[in-house]
C-alpha cells in the first residue's frame, strides 16, 4: 500500500529522515484506536498497511499506545515512539513496556529508552564506510544483523546498514533505531548514524543506562 492510499483516520509518517527530508522508516498512526478494539483486527490492519510499524492510539492525552508490525505485536519500537511523540506532542508515552519519555528539540524528536527493551542484534564492525556500503546482502545466518563502520570516530559519525534476516520480503531496513540504541550502549557514546540510503539517527547514552534516540519526523499522508 502506498503512502498516499491509506484508509481514513490513519496518518503516515516517515521517521529518522535525512537532512534533505528523504528516506526514513514508514509508520502508520491510527489516532482513534477504539475503532479497532480487537487485537486480531489491529494485526490485520498492520498487515494490510505493510509498514514496519503501526501505532494505535488508545488514549491520546495519557499516551497509551499499542504497536504492531505485520505479523506480531511489539511491546516497544523506537521508530513508532519517536514518531508518536512528535505527532501527539507528548512528554510521556505508555506502550506495553511502560513509561517512555519524549521531547522535541528543534527539528528532532527524541525518546528515552532502555537497551533491555530491544531484541538482540548482531553488531558487526567493518573497516570502512565503503565496506559497509559495498555489502550486497547480509552475511549468512539468522537474526538481526547491523553492519557499521566509523565515518569519523572523533565526531561520533557512523555509517550503518541493517538487515532483518527474517524473510525474503524485507532484505534491508532503511532506519533501525533499536540497533542504533544497542550500538550507542556498547560504545557508551553519542552517535550520529547515517543508515540505509540516507536516514539519520541520533543517540545519546545517559549515566543511568538509558539512551536517548532522536530523529526527524515528517507527515507524508493523512487518510
pLDDT lower than 70: segments of the chain: 1-5, 167-169
Q: What is the pLDDT of residue 125?
A: 98
Q: Which domain holds residue 141?
A: 117-214
Q: What's residue 50's pLDDT?
A: 92
The whole-angstrom separation of Cα 26 and Cα 219 is 10
Report if residue 4 sits inside a domain.
no
User: Are residue 123 and residue 104 in the same domain, yes or no?
Assistant: no
Residue 170 is predicted with a pLDDT of 78
User: Could you give the CA distance from residue 206 to residue 186 in angstroms, rounded to a whole number?
Assistant: 13
Q: What is the CATH number of the domain that holds 72?
A: 3.10.310.10
Residues 96 and 18 in one domain: yes
Are 126 and 76 contained in the same domain?
A: no
Same domain, 30 and 122: no
* pTM, entire model: 0.94
Per-residue pLDDT at 5: 67
Strand ranges in 37-139 using DSSP code E only, listed in sequence order? 53-59, 64-69, 72-74, 92-93, 100-105, 108-113, 121-125
Looking at the fold, whether 179 and 85 belong to one and the same domain comes out as: no
For residues 174 and 206, membership in a common domain is answered with yes
Task: Clarify whether residues 105 and 14 are in a common domain.
Answer: yes
Name the domain count of the chain: 2
Query: What are the pLDDT digits (tens) for 11-38?
Result: 999 999 999 999 999 999 999 999 999 9
pLDDT at 6: 76
- According to the model, what pLDDT value does residue 3 have? 45
Give 41-50 pLDDT, tens digit per residue.
Answer: 999 999 999 9
Please give the helix or strand (H or E) that residue 88 lies within, else none: helix 78-88
Q: Where are the alpha helices (DSSP H) in the chain?
A: 39-49, 78-88, 129-133, 177-187
The answer to the question of residue 3 being in a domain is no
Q: What pLDDT, on a 0 to 100 scale, did the predictor assign at position 168?
A: 65
pLDDT at 209: 97
Amino acid at each position: 500500500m502506498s503512502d498516499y492510499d491509506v484508509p481514513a483516520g490513519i496518518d503516515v509518517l516517515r521517521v529518522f529522515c535525512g537532512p534533505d527530508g528523504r528516506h526514513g522508516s514508514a509508520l502508520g498512526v491510527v489516532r482513534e484506536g477504539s475503532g479497532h478494539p480487537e487485537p486480531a483486527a489491529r494485526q490485520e490492519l498492520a498487515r494490510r498497511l505493510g509498514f514496519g510499524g503501526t501505532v494505535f492510539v488508545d488514549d491520546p492525552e495519557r499516551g497509551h499506545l499499542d504497536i504492531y508490525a505485520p505479523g506480531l505485536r511489539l511491546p516497544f519500537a523506537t521508530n513508532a515512539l519517536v514518531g508518536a511523540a512528535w505527532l501527539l506532542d507528548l512528554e510521556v508515552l505508555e506502550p506495553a513496556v511502560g513509561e517512555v519519555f519524549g521531547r522535541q528539540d528543534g527539528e528532532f524528536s527524541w525518546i528515552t529508552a532502555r537497551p533491555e527493551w530491544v531484541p538482540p542484534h548482531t553488531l558487526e564492525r567493518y573497516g570502512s564506510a565503503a565496506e559497509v556500503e559495498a555489502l550486497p546482502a547480509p552475511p549468512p545466518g539468522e537474526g538481526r544483523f547491523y553492519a557499521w563502520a566509523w565515518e569519523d570516530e572523533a565526531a561520533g559519525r557512523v555509517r550503518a546498514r541493517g538487515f532483518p534476516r527474517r524473510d525474503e520480503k524485507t532484505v534491508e531496513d532503511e532506519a533501525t533505531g533499536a540497533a542504533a540504541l544497542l550500538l550507542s550502549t556498547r560504545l557508551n557514546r553519542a552517535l550520529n548514524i547515517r543508515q540505509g540510503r540516507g536516514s539519520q539517527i541520533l543517540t545519546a547514552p545517559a549515566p543511568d543506562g538509558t539512551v536517548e534516540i532522536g530523529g526527524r519526523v515528517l507527515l507524508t499522508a493523512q487518510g
